[in-house]
Amino acid sequence: MPSSIARSGGRRLQQPRAHSLTLELVQMHESSAFASVEYSSVDFLVQSQSSSIPDVAPSFFAHSVLPKPPETYIADFHSSLVCHLNRAVHHHKFLSTLHRLGHFSSSPTYHTLLEIQMNPMSEPNVAKLILSQKKRYCKDTSTLMMMRCGVSIAFVTVSFRTSLGSDLEMGKDGIPDWLNSSLWSTTLSDGDNRIHRHSTSPTISSNAVSEPIVQPPVPVPSPATTSSSQSTATSPKSKSRDRVDKNSDDNNNDKDQNASSYGGSPDDISRQAQLLTKTKMARKLEKSAVRDNDHSKSESSGLLSRSQVTHGEHPLSLGESIIWNQFFQDSKIIEQIDRDVKRTHPDMNFFSRNSQLAKSNQDALKDILIVFAKLNPGIRYVQGMNEILAPLFYVFRNDPDEEMAAVAEADSFFCFDELLSGFCDHFYKQLDNNNVGIRAIITWLSQFLKEHDEELWRHLEIITKHSDIDMALKTLTGLVGAKFNSHQYEGFATDALDSRCLDSMGLLTSTPVAPHIVPPDTITPFQS
């Protein structure tokens, strides 16, 4: 797919002419490949053969050091974003995926994809998103803030390198991995199997560790159960009762719709998704007799008929039953997500739980995180993702254009997915000891700081004896989402700018970057 120009690798452009050149390049690639433009703080990195849309992350941090008025960047950013999206949408694979998604007609993901197709992330939304990042400089120029700022910028650069490297691994069709996910397809693709196998290795080991204390999965309703009375028979164990209670707490129509939406697909994965929301389904069946009309439909798709339940799939079996294991794992994650979403920005009315609005917002966050976890079995959900997602959702949801605000969930899912794809290596447990994993990045940051600002480094070292991990981890995994408060929500408050920060940025960004040629496993974070 990518043109020969694209294959020849990205070009790093000099600052003054950067954006016009970028656009030129984009137009050049327009007809042939997905070109992606990434805006770093001082210069632009043109990257071809990459994911279908630009990395949003850099712009979050870029605003504070833009050499030109931010509006220029915003305009460029729009045009490139929109044209990337359009291309992505028209890609045949993408479309065929969409067709396959027919069953999902009301699921949030389908919603998302449809929205992208119909309305490729409307310009106003992008504008708002980016404008919202334009933040007055933080008054607090404490060392800590400087550090955070430096770290986030360094991180962006680092994540560039790593993400550029990992782009080489992308499918031959130039399709982002998440589009190839088995969730969309009727059969598991080889690639997806690999992902699954990959992802289960750590969970297996953790299961092995926790085996003696994990409750046997006995009392969950049998998958063969379709009648409401049976399916709502709950576990005598407190855990599963808790879950039901929790679900009934959040009970509202939206949730039920989501639950049912999973039910339409005939494939295995969606059946898992159905199982995942089974308690909701159970409640739903119990609650409304109206739904009985759809009974046969839900039986065929979601709840397994008795003939489909093999011994291996019995919830009591201790074997490696895929469906039930999946179910229990998923319910764990959903519990975790639920817990974290409820304590996302508790100080803001927008997210706090009392009002109807807050509840629907929380549900949206939850749905996005759950879908993301399902789509990325290797990462699943990591605490802190809610903090990243929250500002995105906030921005989209508060769009003055009501039509846009209505699809905030879809827009934020899309942005969130893109944002995380830029640095998802940090979340992979398997990569922890690798040279692109979180530890390596942290070590590198520490070394970088030591090299360029030893005084600050020493200072941090004295404050906490683990400055390397301590300071950077939150920024690296949570970006700066957690730094928001209700007053300065419109901005990402890392822009405590100081000449020192600028210096280190200059050094960082002036590092020659040629990651297209370097295979991902040879990229070391110690290149500076």
Partner 1 sequence: MAHRVDHEYEYLFKIVLIGDSGVGKSNILSRYTRNEFCLESKSTIGVEFATRTLQVEGKAVKAQIWDTAGQERYRAITSAYYRGAVGAILVYDITKRQTFDNVQRWLRELRNHADSNIVLMMAGNKSDLNHLRAVSEQDGQALAEKEGLSFLETSALDATNIQKAFQTILTEVYHIVSKKALAAQEAKANASIPGQGTTINVAETSGNTKKGCCST
Residues that bind partner 1 (CB under 8 A): 206, 209-210, 212-215, 237-239, 242, 336, 339-340, 342-346, 352-353, 382-384, 386-387, 427, 429, 432, 438-439, 463-466, 469-470, 473-474, 477-478, 482
The smaller minimum CB distance to partner 1, of residues 101 and 373, is found at: 373
Q: What span, in angstroms and rounded, lies between the C-alpha atoms of 392 and 385?
A: 11
CB of 271 to partner 1, least distance (A): 26
The smaller minimum CB distance to partner 1, of residues 184 and 327, is found at: 327
CB of 488 to partner 1, least distance (A): 16
The smaller minimum CB distance to partner 1, of residues 11 and 246, is found at: 246
- Chain-centroid distance of CA 211 in Å reads 30
Q: Select from 184, 154, 164 the least CA-distant residue to 49.
A: 164
What tokens were used for 118? 């119909």
CB of 245 to partner 1, least distance (A): 10
CB of 242 to partner 1, least distance (A): 7
CB of 376 to partner 1, least distance (A): 13
The smaller minimum CB distance to partner 1, of residues 114 and 358, is found at: 358
CB of 332 to partner 1, least distance (A): 9
Residue 24's contacts (CB-CB under 8 Å, 6 or more residues apart) are none
158-161 long-range contacts, CB within 8 A, separation 24+: 158/441, 158/444, 158/445, 158/525, 159/57, 159/422, 159/423, 159/426, 160/38, 160/40, 160/45, 160/55, 160/58, 160/422, 160/513, 160/515, 161/513, 161/515, 161/523, 161/525, 161/527
- Number of helices followed by number of strands (H, E) in the chain: 24, 3
End-to-end CA distance of the chain: 32
Q: What span, in angstroms and rounded, lies between the C-alpha atoms of 228 and 112?
A: 31
What tokens were used for 332? 């764990």
The smaller minimum CB distance to partner 1, of residues 133 and 344, is found at: 344
Q: Select from 1, 85, 80 the least CA-distant residue to 46.
A: 80
CB of 225 to partner 1, least distance (A): 24
CB of 4 to partner 1, least distance (A): 41
The smaller minimum CB distance to partner 1, of residues 124 and 202, is found at: 202
Q: What span, in angstroms and rounded, lies between the C-alpha atoms of 128 and 490?
A: 10
The smaller minimum CB distance to partner 1, of residues 49 and 329, is found at: 329
3-state secondary structure 139-171: CCCCHHHHHHHHHHHHHHHHHHHHHHHHHCCCC
Identify whether the C-beta of residue 171 lies closer than 8 Å to the C-beta of residue 180.
Answer: yes
The smaller minimum CB distance to partner 1, of residues 238 and 310, is found at: 238
Q: Would you state the torsion angle of the CA atoms of residues 507, 510, 514, 515, taken in this order, to the nearest 10 degrees?
A: 40
CB of 231 to partner 1, least distance (A): 23
Other Cβ atoms closer than 10 A to 162: 25
Largest CA distance in the chain: 71
Q: Select from 3, 63, 16 the least CA-distant residue to 39.
A: 63
Residue 126's contacts (CB-CB under 8 Å, 6 or more residues apart) are 74, 77, 78, 81, 82
The smaller minimum CB distance to partner 1, of residues 283 and 429, is found at: 429
CB of 303 to partner 1, least distance (A): 26
CB of 382 to partner 1, least distance (A): 5
The smaller minimum CB distance to partner 1, of residues 153 and 480, is found at: 480
290-298 long-range contacts, CB within 8 A, separation 24+: 291/260, 294/260, 295/226, 297/263, 297/264, 298/226, 298/260, 298/263
CB of 452 to partner 1, least distance (A): 23
The smaller minimum CB distance to partner 1, of residues 171 and 219, is found at: 219
The smaller minimum CB distance to partner 1, of residues 54 and 150, is found at: 150
